[in-house]
Amino acid sequence: MKKHNFSAGPSILPRSVIEQASNGILNINNSNLSLIEISHRSKDFVEIMDRATTLALNLLNLNNKGYKALFLQGGASLQFLMTAYNLLENKAGYINTGAWSTKALKEAKNLGDAIEVATSKDANFNYIPKNYSLDSDLDYLHITTNNTIFGTQFHELPKTNTNLICDMSSDIFSRNIDFSKFSLIYAGAQKNMGPAGTTLVIVKEEILGKVSRAIPSMLDYKVHIDKDSMFNTPPVFAVYTSMLTLEWLTKNGGIKAIEDKNIEKANLLYNEIDSNDLFNGFAKKEDRSLMNVTFNLNDQDHKEHFDRLCLEANISGVNGHRSVGGYRASIYNALDISSVKVLIEVMNQLNKLV
Ligand X SMILES: *Cc1c(COP(=O)(O)O)cnc(C)c1O
Q: Which positions touch ligand X (CB under 6 A)?
A: 9, 75-77, 100, 144, 148, 167, 169-170, 188, 191
* Nearest residue (CB) to ligand X, 175 versus 191: 191
> CB pairs under 8 A, 24+ apart, for 90-94?
90/137, 90/139, 91/115, 91/135, 91/137, 91/138, 91/139, 92/138, 92/139, 92/140, 92/141, 92/142, 93/117, 93/134, 93/135, 93/138, 93/140, 93/141, 93/142, 93/162, 94/141, 94/142, 94/143
Beta pairing partners, 296? 280
Q: How far is the CB of 69 from ligand X (least distance, A)?
A: 17
Q: How far is the CB of 145 from ligand X (least distance, A)?
A: 8
* Nearest residue (CB) to ligand X, 151 versus 188: 188
Q: How far is the CB of 77 from ligand X (least distance, A)?
A: 3
| Burial of residue 340 (number of CB atoms within 10 Å: 0-12, 13-18, 19+) | buried
Active site residue 100: yes
| Burial of residue 275 (number of CB atoms within 10 Å: 0-12, 13-18, 19+) | exposed
The CB-nearest residue to ligand X is 75
Which strand (E) or helix (H) includes residue 115? strand 114-119
* Nearest residue (CB) to ligand X, 188 versus 234: 188
- Sign of the alpha-carbon torsion through 96, 101, 107, 113: negative
Give the active site residue among 68, 139, 171, 191: 191
Phi, psi of 199 (to 5 degrees): -125, 125
Distance CA 142, CA 132 (A): 14
Distance CA 314, CA 308 (A): 10
Q: How far is the CB of 206 from ligand X (least distance, A)?
A: 25
Give the active site residue among 68, 100, 171, 265: 100
Query: Which of helix, strand or coil describes residue 179?
Result: helix
Query: Which of helix, strand or coil describes residue 121?
Result: helix
* Whether 87 contacts 165, CB under 8 Å: yes
Active site residue 248: no
Q: How far is the CB of 198 from ligand X (least distance, A)?
A: 9
- Sign of the alpha-carbon torsion through 84, 86, 92, 94: negative
* Nearest residue (CB) to ligand X, 77 versus 348: 77
* Nearest residue (CB) to ligand X, 194 versus 350: 194
Distance CA 188, CA 242 (A): 11
* Nearest residue (CB) to ligand X, 24 versus 194: 194
Which strand (E) or helix (H) includes residue 93? strand 92-96
Q: How far is the CB of 52 from ligand X (least distance, A)?
A: 17
* Nearest residue (CB) to ligand X, 74 versus 254: 74
Q: How far is the CB of 188 from ligand X (least distance, A)?
A: 3
* Whether 78 contacts 216, CB under 8 Å: no
Catalytic residues: 100, 167, 191
